[in-house]
A and B are shown apart, each in its own frame.
Chain A
Amino acid sequence: MKRRTTMVSLIAAVVLLAVTVLPVVAQGAGEKEIVLDYFSGRVETVDWDAEKIAGFEAENPGITVEYEFQKDASNVIKVKLASGEVPDITTVVNQDFIDQGIYMDLSDAAFWNRILPSVKDLCTDLRTGKQYKVATNVTMGGLFYNKAVFTELGLSDAQTWEQFVANLEAIKKAYPDKTPLFLGGKDSWTLGHFVEFWAHGIVKQQLGIPGSRQAFLDNTVEWDAPNGIMENFAKALLELRDKGLLNSDAITATYDNQKEAFASGEAVIINQGMWVVGDIVKLNPAMATNIGFGPFPSVVKGLSPMVLCAEDSVYAISATSEHQDAALKFLEYMFSVEVQKEYSEARSMPSAFIDVESNWSPIKDDAKRLASAYVNINFSTEAPSGLSVDDTGRLIQKLLNGDYASPKVFATEYQKLWDNAY
């Protein structure tokens, strides 16, 4: 009896082992199909992507697109590249990879004459003058404000730093319970965006976008210059903190807190990108008509207000792909007017294609006005990929926490962060 149970359990274990260790791969023989690997980090459109892939495959028998989505795409792709496995098409692009020659030169592709010249410029690699990536959309960032409060207090877009502080003080005076400017600093990328918009923006305004991109590539910006950009930026943030114009938990509040505070009316102004709009409306549908969008002021005297106007939703093709023609065909399909109209509306972002007309967001008109009225800045895509918005945001946490003796020390630390990343 005992012996039998032993034997049974032994056999069961061995069978289990065999079943689990045997590869479950069942591949049909004699396939001559082209298989494209499409690697995406765009979580918002996972289902939509799959749908479009099916449409493409139906139109192109003989081409199969293997779709992989990863939340941690920027990490996963590094492991893939390190193992010599480059996906044919990817949405993850950074300057280091361009420098390594990982992506295919797209300069001769047909779609460029449909894309906004400003976006094409942002897609151009400065070292070679060629395009290794293509962006299908434009994203914008700036100050989102509560329209009702602004109208009631008679406030308008601040043109100077002093006017901005005056706006915030007026809000605080009229509504002591509300937060004039709400920060969600526990998610350090939100503070990193502060640096990105408010501080890097100055360089972009001073040198122009091509000039600033070159300066970032070469690390020639003097961040720690006496009375320079970072010192002024730090002074500005500390002024807001000391005058009580920020939320008291600016370092420990989250991005969720920030969205919710704005949606509920507790926060009057937040510094964000247009990705926040859809979520706010979801949290409080009544906000749809109450979201104002304005530029952010310059922390350095004598400069104009700015608005972030950057490329978004990029694609690249592998330089070593065996099926570059098929990959281009796939991009052409994805770039068709109907598909891009859907995408723009799904993501609530304006299209970079001049022939795509879409109704993408309640802030559409404001966005158009800002883009033409104020200085446009881009994302610092030329900064080294080792320098993340997460890291720059952490310096702001420390600044607001009083860990630096003076704005000057902060500027020095910031310079160090850059130097170490090159």
Chain B
Amino acid sequence: MKPNTTIVADARKTRLSPRNRLDWYLLAIVVLISCVAIIPFYLLVLLALKSPIGGLAAIRLMPDFHFVNFITAWQRSALGKAMFNSLVMTAGGVGLLVFLSSMAGYTIARFPGKLNRTIFTILLLCMMIPGIINTVPLYTLLIRLKGINTYWAMICVMAVNAMPFAIFLYSSFIRAMPVSLEESAIIDGCSWFEAFWRITFPLIGPVTSSVVILQGLGMWNNYAQAVFFLQDKAHRNIPLSISLFFQQYGADWPLMAAAAFLGLLPAVAAFLVFQRYFVEGITAGALKG
């Protein structure tokens, strides 16, 4: 990493080392908020480590350390395969989403002609329509396209569902960016299309990161579509696998929590990786300009 990047990046931030009273307050608030946020997660851990004796009523602040739940859950729900499936479909879905939506957001923000304005309006309207309406026709369509039990169909469906939001996000942020950087590239002999990929796309790293973080999570946790389009064991994703712990009456919460805990680790890791781009993407870009 270039040293000057970090120095400039620091300049915009107030230092939060407890030097004066205000900073102490802020620190206290941060600690408090973190505690509040961590409660459900801690309960998930308690639940995942719960022995069957006594059930949920026997949950105490100290875990039971019934680690065998993780092994049982992993095996019973074939979680390894499910994680692989979820990974392939989420990566594919996010890739497709970012590729198509960033382009669309760019042209909608920069060239608001009749075509682009119409497309944007339709997408916005669709964002407000409850998706449940298209379940049956979509199912019929996927049977005809032989898309049931395939990665590609789920990838397309999930990417499409996330598209209105992603395009909205991209177009709003690109509109707020100065057009001067692209214009200087045009003077250098680029086309607008090339200018997008060379200049704009690297600059909107934070936006791409939020799309990946927000929509990737939705795809990772997708149940509403998966329940219809992924039918055989070989293609089950994580939520479908976790749903195996629901019985006809009631559910096996400890095993479900154990499976859910394992299933969320990759999602948390992805968040930690992508939030770094929040800072680096924009400073690197800004320095170039």
> A17 is contacted by which of B53, B76, B96, B140 (Cβ under 8 Å)?
B96
B210 at interface, CB cutoff 8 A: no
A50 to B136, CA, bound (A): 28
B231 to chain A, nearest CB (A): 4
Q: A20 to B247, Cβ gap below 8 A? A: no
Stretch at the interface among A21-29, A216-224, A239-247: A21-29
A76 to chain B, nearest CB (A): 6
B191 to chain A, nearest CB (A): 12
B248 at interface, CB cutoff 8 A: yes
B197 at interface, CB cutoff 8 A: yes
Q: Given A6-B197, A260-B57, A283-B53, are A20 and B248 also a contact pair (CB < 8 Å)? A: no
Q: B143 to A83, Cβ gap below 8 A? A: yes
A300 to chain B, nearest CB (A): 28
Q: Given A43-B247, A255-B249, A260-B56, are A23 and B140 also a contact pair (CB < 8 Å)? A: no
Q: B92 to A71, Cβ gap below 8 A? A: no
Summed over the interface, the residue pairs from A and B with CB atoms below 8 Å come to a total of 114
A20 to B232, CA, bound (A): 19
B136 to chain A, nearest CB (A): 5
Closest to A285 in B: B53
What 1/0 flags go to B130-160 for Cβ under 8 Å of A?
Answer: 0000011001100100110011100110000
Total number of A residues with any Cβ neighbor in B under 8 Å: 53
A258 to B76, CA, bound (A): 26
Within 1-55 of A, Cβ neighbours of B (below 8 Å) are at 2-3, 6, 9-10, 13, 16-17, 19-25, 41-44, 46-47, 50
Q: B253 to A256, Cβ gap below 8 A? A: yes
What 1/0 flags go to B13-28 for Cβ under 8 Å of A?
Answer: 0000000000000000
A263 to B250, CA, bound (A): 15
Q: Which residues of B contact A19 (CB under 8 A)?
A: 92
> A21 is contacted by which of B139, B155, B198, B246 (Cβ under 8 Å)?
B155
**Most A CB within 10 A of own CB, among B55, B76, B143, B146:** B55
> B197 is contacted by which of A10, A21, A22, A256 (Cβ under 8 Å)?
A10
Q: A282 to B52, Cβ gap below 8 A? A: yes
A413 to B167, CA, bound (A): 48
B68 to chain A, nearest CB (A): 14
Q: Which 10 A-B pairs have the closest CB atoms?
A: A20-B92, A260-B55, A260-B57, A71-B243, A83-B140, A68-B231, A16-B95, A13-B99, A6-B197, A82-B136
Known: A13-B95, A20-B155, A84-B140. 14 other contacts (CB 8 A): A17-B96, A20-B151, A21-B96, A23-B147, A25-B150, A50-B233, A67-B232, A82-B139, A255-B249, A260-B56, A263-B54, A283-B54, A284-B53, A285-B53
Total number of B residues with any Cβ neighbor in A under 8 Å: 42
Q: Given A20-B152, A283-B53, A283-B55, are A71 and B95 also a contact pair (CB < 8 Å)? A: no
A67 to B156, CA, bound (A): 25
Q: A83 to B136, Cβ gap below 8 A? A: yes
B268 at interface, CB cutoff 8 A: no
> A71 is contacted by which of B147, B231, B232, B246 (Cβ under 8 Å)?
B246
A selection of 7 A-B contacts at a CB cut-off of 8 Å is A9-B201, A22-B152, A23-B146, A41-B248, A71-B227, A273-B249, A283-B52
A215 to B86, CA, bound (A): 49
Q: Given A71-B244, A283-B52, are A76 and B233 also a contact pair (CB < 8 Å)? A: no
**Most B CB within 10 A of own CB, among A43, A257, A263:** A43
Q: Given A16-B96, A256-B56, are A24 and B151 also a contact pair (CB < 8 Å)? A: yes
Within 59-90 of A, Cβ neighbours of B (below 8 Å) are at 66-72, 76, 79-80, 82-85
Q: A6 to B198, Cβ gap below 8 A? A: yes
Q: Which residues of A contact B139 (CB under 8 A)?
A: 79-80, 82-83
B228 at interface, CB cutoff 8 A: yes
Q: Which residues of A contact B135 (CB under 8 A)?
A: 79
Q: B152 to A24, Cβ gap below 8 A? A: yes
Using a CB–CB cutoff of 8 Å, the interface residues on chain A facing chain B are: 2-3, 6, 9-10, 13, 16-17, 19-25, 41-44, 46-47, 50, 66-72, 76, 79-80, 82-85, 189, 255-257, 259-261, 263-264, 273, 275-276, 279, 282-285
Q: Given A3-B198, A43-B248, A284-B54, are A79 and B156 also a contact pair (CB < 8 Å)? A: no
What 1/0 flags go to B194-212 for Cβ under 8 Å of A?
Answer: 1001100100000000000
Q: A20 to B54, Cβ gap below 8 A? A: no
Q: B146 to A25, Cβ gap below 8 A? A: yes
Closest to B288 in A: A2
Tell me whether chain A's interface is mostly helix, strand or loop, or mixed: helix
A388 to chain B, nearest CB (A): 14
What 1/0 flags go to B176-206 for Cβ under 8 Å of A?
Answer: 0000000000000000001001100100000
A9 to B102, CA, bound (A): 13
A154 to chain B, nearest CB (A): 29
Q: A23 to B152, Cβ gap below 8 A? A: yes
Q: Given A9-B197, A20-B155, are A279 and B150 also a contact pair (CB < 8 Å)? A: no
A263 to B54, CA, bound (A): 7
B259 to chain A, nearest CB (A): 14
Closest to A255 in B: B250
B232 to chain A, nearest CB (A): 6
A35 to chain B, nearest CB (A): 12
Q: B248 to A44, Cβ gap below 8 A? A: yes
What 1/0 flags go to B241-264 for Cβ under 8 Å of A?
Answer: 001101111100100000000000
A124 to chain B, nearest CB (A): 24
> B99 is contacted by which of A16, A25, A47, A285 (Cβ under 8 Å)?
A16
B261 to chain A, nearest CB (A): 19
Q: B244 to A20, Cβ gap below 8 A? A: no
Q: Given A47-B76, A83-B136, A284-B53, are A42 and B198 also a contact pair (CB < 8 Å)? A: no
Q: Which residues of B contact A79 (CB under 8 A)?
A: 135-136, 139, 228
Q: Given A20-B92, A25-B146, A264-B57, are A44 and B247 also a contact pair (CB < 8 Å)? A: yes
B212 to chain A, nearest CB (A): 14
